[in-house]
Structure 1
Amino acid sequence: MRPGSMLLAAAAATGLLVAPLAGPAAAATSATHAAAAAPSVPVIVRHDGTGAAEAAVIRAGGTVGQHLDLVGAFTATVPGGAVAALSTADGVLAVTPDGEVRLQGDEWQADKDQHSMFSLTESIGAQSVWSAKDATGARLTGQGIGVAVIDSGIAPVAGLDAPGKVINGPDLSFESQTPALRNLDTFGHGTHMAGIIAGRDSGVKAGNEADKKQFVGVAPDAHLINMKVAAADGAVDVSQVIAAIDWVVTHRDDPGLNIRVLNLSFGTDSTQDPRLDPLSYAVEAAWKKGIVVVVSVGNDGLTETRVGMPAQNPNILAVGAADPLSTANRADDVVADFSTGGNATRHADLVAPGKSVVSLRVPNGYIDAAYPQARIAEDPAQRYFRGSGTSQAAAVVSGAAALLLQQRPGLTPDQVKRLLTSTADAMPAGDELAQGAGQLDVAAAVKAPTPAVSTQAFLPATGLGSLELSRGTAHVADPDTGTELTGEVDIMGQAWTPAGWAQVCTTGAAWDGDTWNGRTWSGRTWSGANWAGRTWSGRTWSGAVWNGRTWSGRTWSGRTWSGRTWSGQTWSASDWG
């Protein structure tokens, strides 16, 4: 974020209006006794992150208040006469008197927040698409298109609770053995993604989707297939994710599903060649079976030269995150600083809004309980949660793909990719490599002619690599013994035979009833009372549950689901404020 927009962003993020600093700052270097005796005033102090600014406040006779990590600042109370000196102290970038603060109305207003779904759908052109029609005369809202969401589950919160909106696939998570938790989102991430893709409030009337008082996702009439793989503590193995992808491929044409899009807001830090990596092979097989696979590139930052797996697969749609800088003008948008840059061979195909995105909240879910400051405080119903990451950006693109597929059901995944990338808007201020083709413009994609049918000319993957290497640095562990699940076995302890699996994966027959890789994976009876002898949970993908680097070192979209870690600089700090 540019320094000049930080305080504006803070006001937008909190729903407050803050009076600006009046008059020039003096050049004094320390507070005098007279200044210290003056009445105290509230201020906002922008700092350099070294801790020197906090020390300067205390020396000036003030007190440090709440940290506003979203804008690199904190609140403080200091003697009025010390403000000028404080503004030039070491570590202080700026001091703004926190003038009269007033709410922007009785409730949060979506059209006043550039990170809300109303502003987001307007900026990418979705609102104009909703008024267009398909060949049958139906408006383009994603009707009839199934989007599979492999994630932490989907909670039946308002906006996702309409009959037929969410269809539960098998729960492949470690919580599936607890009936009260089966298919539900105990973490909060999957629901956030689902809201972005296809949320729709029950009060939204047909033809009035662009209602700033209602919550509406990018493809509000698409239906979601809930593929839960992650538990609240983050425990999940790459074999579970591959099994979920295979299930989606096997059942894509089942009555009522019509799965045309697969959203994967994650990635492992596998360094295995994507032509060999099983996770990469699984998404390529889904792509070749007619499913548009949308994957986040990761959140390791613009200087990171390797995107996550399976985004490394060149066939699928790899998505980076754009930052609107809290303005409605897309001309000044940049690639978010947390979005993985990649290299000349593989980087994001395009970017979509992914900074401080407002979507649906899971009350008392892990992230909700851990980071309550990410809730939208001005919303009386407390329905919304703000989050950043290439995870959110991927969800935006998944919704856009659903709109295109309703308009032109015969599109192949390659044609969808070509339409979205060829019509993306260049970002003059954005990182040239990390933005790929530019920022998503779904209105332009809907208007563009259908590309010629062609196949991307990449060497096909084989899937004959190592399951263990596909895990990268992430392993689930037995919570009692600390023993990690490693080697060429899945969570059932079943041997991994790449050649045999790759063959059935290619044909879309990896699942036989409730059986995958030779064992029963029904989501209800895992062929044993305790997961083939061990209850895998504990250290999860990253060796430290959710407060380390999340699902897998640098997995599930970089070093976490969002930003740079759930507990470091993300949900509660620079990306989730």
Structure 2
Amino acid sequence: MKNYIVLRSNVRPSLRGGMAGVLRDGATPTVTVERVDERHVAQLREEPEVQIVAPSMPTRLIVPLNAQPAAAGPSWGIAAVGADRSPFTGAGVTVAVLDTGIDAAHPAFGGVQLVQKDFSGDGDGDAFGHGTHCAGTIFGRDVGSDGNATRIGVARGIERALIGKVLGNDGSGSTDMLVNGMTWALQNKAHIISMSLGFDFPGMVTQLVDSGVPVDIATSQALEAYRDNLRIFDAVMAMMDAQGGLDTEPLVVAASGNESRREVDAQFRVAASLPAAADDVLSVAAIGRGGATLTVANFSNTMARISAPGVDITSAFPGGGLQTWSGTSMACPHVAGVAALWWEALRAEGRDPDARLVAARLSASARRNVFAPDVDPADIGDGFLTAPE
């Protein structure tokens, strides 16, 4: 028996689990996670309402780079995006972090209602530290003694966070865990969903080869699964968009990936990977400091929609301390945090924010004048992330 993600049309919500339980009667299409014997997959595909049957494929966290002890002073990204000058704190906004879990006892999360759900089977908590670091950047409180505390969080007024553990203690997961996590976040009325992870195409090839499939066949099968999972996630995003007319339409933010190698050759760039490449996902590139201007990180994947601080970012780490990491995984939570500030700012204007409106404000306020004139627009998207003032 294996897990498959199934895209159906015209399914009554009372008959199916997964996303079907989120949307009202008559909503189509519908995505579910189903455990099916391989012998019955062909039969499943023959059902009239079934559009796609995608095997669950492995996922992995986007591995952070250049781990080092925490630098003194606040994380530089806070001031770079203008969060230190913004009158908004993210109050009243619920954010979901789909990652490796969280160290709920860390002082950075004092006073925050953490609603945890484990989809990995490894239990709550964060043995890796990735989820804790990302959460700290979004909504972490200052860490340290009074008068000498380090600011790490962009949106320190967030009081409720959904922590979906969709990656296990080794940093691996699967697309069915991610779909279930996104469903859960939607059901629990997340305004923003932050995901610093990617589909593990090489990992699926390895799994198939280890099961006896020839390498060329395994590569083709993994490519087919990757394609079908992309279509599934496009459908999930379409359903979240439809949810905006019913209740809360969350803004989904995802790291673009760290596969580029500009330090070897400027042409060694890789486009944003899944799930960041799915429709309506706000994909994020990583930026570092480079003297008078900001620079695109060598590892940052291209074709992202916006860029944010992602080099030498200090945030929370399990055990109560701080850690400095680099990666698009670190850039993504900056965007989630600033999105929370914009959500609050739009409410203050008397607006009723949704994902599209917040994404439009993020895009319109993004800056390009912080980069060198010859920067490739494909590397920075709409520009550098900016908080509301």
Normalised TM-score (structure 2): 0.66
What is the CA–CA distance in structure 1 between the aligned matches of 2:198 and 2:72, rounded to whole Å? 34
Q: 1:234 to 1:123 in 2, by over 3 A?
A: closer
* Partner in structure 2 of residue 337 of structure 1: 298
Shift of 1:313: 1.9
Counterpart amino acid of residue 413 in structure 1: A
* Partner in structure 2 of residue 392 of structure 1: 330
What is the CA–CA distance in structure 2 between the aligned matches of 1:299 and 1:274, rounded to whole Å? 23
Counterpart amino acid of residue 219 in structure 1: A
- SS of 2:154's equivalent in the other structure is coil
* Partner in structure 1 of residue 153 of structure 2: 217
* Partner in structure 1 of residue 310 of structure 2: 354
Contact kept in structure 2, 1:146 and 1:225, CA below 8 Å: yes
Shift of 1:185: 0.6
* Partner in structure 2 of residue 141 of structure 1: 89
**Alignment of structure 1 residues 443-482 onto 2, 5 Å:** 446=388
Contact kept in structure 1, 2:109 and 2:140, CA below 8 Å: no
Contact kept in structure 2, 1:351 and 1:435, CA below 8 Å: yes
- SS of 1:277's equivalent in the other structure is helix
What is the CA–CA distance in structure 2 between the aligned matches of 1:416 and 1:434, rounded to whole Å? 22
Shift of 1:318: 0.7
Structure 1 residue 126 corresponds to structure 2 residue 65: no
Shift of 1:160: 3.2
Shift of 1:287: 4.3
Counterpart amino acid of residue 350 in structure 1: I
* Partner in structure 1 of residue 364 of structure 2: 422
Contact kept in structure 2, 1:320 and 1:352, CA below 8 Å: yes
Alignment length (residue pairs) = 281
* Partner in structure 2 of residue 109 of structure 1: 72
Counterpart amino acid of residue 281 in structure 1: A
Counterpart amino acid of residue 319 in structure 1: V
Counterpart amino acid of residue 266 in structure 1: L
* Partner in structure 2 of residue 82 of structure 1: none
**Superposed CA RMSD:** 2.7
* Partner in structure 1 of residue 119 of structure 2: 172
Contact kept in structure 1, 2:284 and 2:305, CA below 8 Å: yes
Residue number among 225, 236, 259 corresponding to 1:300 in the alignment: 259
Contact kept in structure 2, 1:283 and 1:310, CA below 8 Å: no
1:364-423 deviations in Å (ceiling 9; x for gaps): xxxxxxxxxxxxxxxxxx821111111110100000000111122312211211111122
What is the CA–CA distance in structure 1 between the aligned matches of 2:196 and 2:335, rounded to whole Å? 11
Structure 1 residue 404 corresponds to structure 2 residue 342: yes
Residue number among 171, 174, 187 corresponding to 2:128 in the alignment: 187
* Partner in structure 2 of residue 152 of structure 1: 100
Shift of 1:249: 1.2
What is the CA–CA distance in structure 2 between the aligned matches of 1:349 and 1:242, rounded to whole Å? 22
Structure 1 residue 244 corresponds to structure 2 residue 149: no
* Partner in structure 2 of residue 486 of structure 1: none
What is the CA–CA distance in structure 2 between the aligned matches of 1:425 and 1:314, rounded to whole Å? 23
* Partner in structure 1 of residue 250 of structure 2: 291
Shift of 1:276: 5.3
What is the CA–CA distance in structure 2 between the aligned matches of 1:315 and 1:324, rounded to whole Å? 29
Q: 1:396 to 1:159 in 2, by over 3 A?
A: farther
* Partner in structure 2 of residue 315 of structure 1: 280
Counterpart amino acid of residue 218 in structure 1: V
Contact kept in structure 2, 1:149 and 1:263, CA below 8 Å: yes
Contact kept in structure 2, 1:295 and 1:311, CA below 8 Å: yes
- SS of 2:377's equivalent in the other structure is coil
Counterpart amino acid of residue 295 in structure 1: A
By percentage of residues, which structure has more strand?
Answer: 2
In structure 2, stretches of 5+ residues that fail to align are 1-64, 202-222, 244-248, 263-267
Shift of 1:159: 3.5
1:420-463 deviations in Å (ceiling 9; x for gaps): 11221112253321111111111xxx25xxxxxxxxxxxxxxxx
* Partner in structure 1 of residue 196 of structure 2: 265
Structure 1 residue 431 corresponds to structure 2 residue 382: no
Q: 1:435 to 1:239 in 2, by over 3 A?
A: same
Counterpart amino acid of residue 414 in structure 1: R
Structure 1 residue 278 corresponds to structure 2 residue 232: yes
Shift of 1:314: 3.4
What is the CA–CA distance in structure 1 between the aligned matches of 2:80 and 2:148, rounded to whole Å? 13
In structure 1, stretches of 5+ residues that fail to align are 1-68, 71-106, 111-115, 133-139, 177-182, 206-210, 253-258, 342-346, 364-381, 448-577
Structure 1 residue 197 corresponds to structure 2 residue 138: yes
- SS of 2:358's equivalent in the other structure is helix
**Alignment of structure 1 residues 19-168 onto 2, 5 Å:** 109-110=72-73, 116-117=74-75, 119-129=76-86, 132=87, 140-163=88-111, 165-168=112-115
Shift of 1:244: 0.5
Contact kept in structure 2, 1:335 and 1:431, CA below 8 Å: no
What is the CA–CA distance in structure 1 between the aligned matches of 2:135 and 2:116, rounded to whole Å? 14
What is the CA–CA distance in structure 2 between the aligned matches of 1:187 and 1:275, rounded to whole Å? 26
Contact kept in structure 2, 1:351 and 1:436, CA below 8 Å: yes
Counterpart amino acid of residue 89 in structure 2: T
Q: 1:160 to 1:285 in 2, by over 3 A?
A: farther
Shift of 1:168: 2.2
Normalised TM-score (structure 1): 0.45
Counterpart amino acid of residue 336 in structure 1: A
Contact kept in structure 2, 1:284 and 1:313, CA below 8 Å: no
Shift of 1:307: 1.5
Contact kept in structure 1, 2:252 and 2:282, CA below 8 Å: yes
Shift of 1:234: 3.0
What is the CA–CA distance in structure 2 between the aligned matches of 1:287 and 1:151, rounded to whole Å? 22
More deviation, 153-162/140-149: 153-162
Task: With a CA cutoff of 8 Å and minimum separation of 6, indicate the structure with the bigger relative contact order.
Answer: 2
Counterpart amino acid of residue 433 in structure 1: A
What is the CA–CA distance in structure 1 between the aligned matches of 2:235 and 2:94, rounded to whole Å? 22
Shift of 1:316: 2.0
Contact kept in structure 2, 1:356 and 1:387, CA below 8 Å: yes
